[in-house]
Amino acid sequence: MTPSYGSAEALLTHHLGSHPIVGVRPHVVERTARQMIAQFPGDVLYAVKCNDADPVLDALWKGGIRHFDTASIGEVRQIRRRFPGAVCHFMHPVKSPEAIAEAYFEHGVRSFVLDHEEELAKIVQVTNRAKDLDLFVRLAVPGEGAVLTLTGKFGCDVEEAPALVRACRAFARSVGITFHVGSQCLDPMAFHRAIALCGQVVAEAGAVDMLDVGGGFPGRYRGDEPGFDLFVATIKAALHQYGLAGTPLQCEPGRALVADGASVFARVELRRGASLYLNDGVYGNLAELKWIGPQFPLRAIRVGGRHGDAPLIPYDLFGPTCDSIDSMPGPHLLPADMDEGDWIEVGQMGAYSNALKTRFNGFETGGVVFLHDDAFDRIRLEASLARRGDAFAYAQAA
């Protein structure tokens, strides 16, 4: 049974181990799922790759998620075992014949993505020219506005897409278009520009049965990122502008669904000036601190009776492995008196944290516990700092 605690402080008071910990807040994940389902005018698919931990998946299911963006046969198996009534969509544009066959014949998957005529031929052949396929053509779109662009690997050009859409119609019961604007997209107009390209394809190839607007909706790490409601409003406006109003929709959020739903707890093993060496890092649960950068809310949690209200100063963070890549450059703002044995809570780490962890260099990456307090996010951090009188210093340093 997964250990459960009323708060982060209670967790660290009782935690006797030296390994990092992922604290999942299922009620937060469930609440976010309900809100996003209510706001989006179509099916909401959870991108399983973002966090495939069973407690997270269970919370999403409880929150009403019934469709899943599964990008590998392993994810299809996992979702099918845990939720027999779920709908799996095989959203990876390049799949092995074995994966297609198992997904279709053993797990009932009917929705497949492709971006090349050879992938279409593979799907048709492996499924024995099935008449119940739902095929989506992935369109290449610009990556402007995303912190992590996804251009170059997947997607067909807008000039090639109409022919591929028409080719799909010869075999599928329904044909759609999909795209992905990039991870942690901060510009709602990126979806407007992508839908404009979809409109061009439809103008040449004819109407499609479905439009999948992908993922990329941001976690609100700094607090000033556009909300999901603004993205939805932009998508609706673009659909009307480019003649796609009334087309059934689906989206594939990952980060926006689960980011608020977990924290990572890492212990300081050594302080060297303004550098803190932690028991977790890039090869563990904290890869996003390198790839997204120092945007996440952090706080120190002291155990053993030591307290203090030292001012905040910027630190660089380093993970436990012997690899110099295992670094998370700052400024990460934490109290000036940080020392060995202190714990750091990194908030809003529900996305791409434990899902990316490895055992590289032999280091353990810890377990999962349940927390029943509210999400540790930017608002909660700033409220805590205001009580300490650090709000101005924090805002200036950030």
pLDDT tens across 204-252, in order?
999 999 999 999 999 999 989 999 999 999 999 999 999 999 999 999 9
Per-residue confidence (pLDDT) for residue 224, from 0 to 100: 92
Per-residue confidence (pLDDT) for residue 359, from 0 to 100: 87
State the pairing for strand pair 174-178/210-212: parallel
Structure tokens belonging to residue 107: 């797990």
- CB count in 10 Å sphere of residue 129: 11
Supply the mean pLDDT for the chain.
93
Per-residue confidence (pLDDT) for residue 2, from 0 to 100: 84
Decide: 151 and 142 in contact? Cβ < 8 Å.
yes
Residues 6+ apart with CB under 8 A from 118: none
Average pLDDT on 359-384 reads 85
Long-range pairs for 291-296: beta carbons < 8 A, 24 or more residues apart: 291/148, 292/147, 292/148, 292/184, 292/221, 293/329, 294/328, 294/329, 294/330, 294/331, 294/332, 295/221, 295/222, 296/221, 296/346, 296/347, 296/348, 296/349
Architecture per CATH, 27-257: Alpha-Beta Barrel (3.20)
Q: Could you tell me which of 184, 217, 187, 224 has the C-alpha nearest to residue 395?
A: 224
Q: Could you tell me which of 318, 313, 241, 234 has the C-alpha nearest to residue 41?
A: 234
Instruction: Determine the Cα–Cα distance for residues 201 and 118; give it in Å rounded to an integer.
Output: 20
Instruction: Determine the Cα–Cα distance for residues 104 and 171; give it in Å rounded to an integer.
Output: 15
How many whole angstroms from its chain centre is CA 78? 18
- DSSP class of 218: P
Residues of the chain with CATH 3.20.20.10: 27-257
Q: Is 397's pLDDT higher than 70?
A: no
Instruction: Determine the Cα–Cα distance for residues 367 and 97; give it in Å rounded to an integer.
Output: 35
Give the pLDDT confidence of 78-134 residue by residue, as tens digits. 999 999 999 999 999 999 999 999 999 999 999 999 999 999 999 999 999 999 999
Average pLDDT on 313-328 reads 95
Q: What share of the chain is helix, strand, coil (3-state, %, to 5)?
A: 35, 25, 40
Return the SS3 of 317.
strand
Per-residue confidence (pLDDT) for residue 253, from 0 to 100: 97
Residue 155 — φ and ψ, nearest 5°?
Answer: 110, 140
Residues of the chain with CATH 2.40.37.10: 4-23+259-397
4-23+259-397, which class in CATH? mainly beta
E strand or H helix that includes residue 314 = strand 312-318
Instruction: Determine the Cα–Cα distance for residues 315 and 325; give it in Å rounded to an integer.
Output: 17
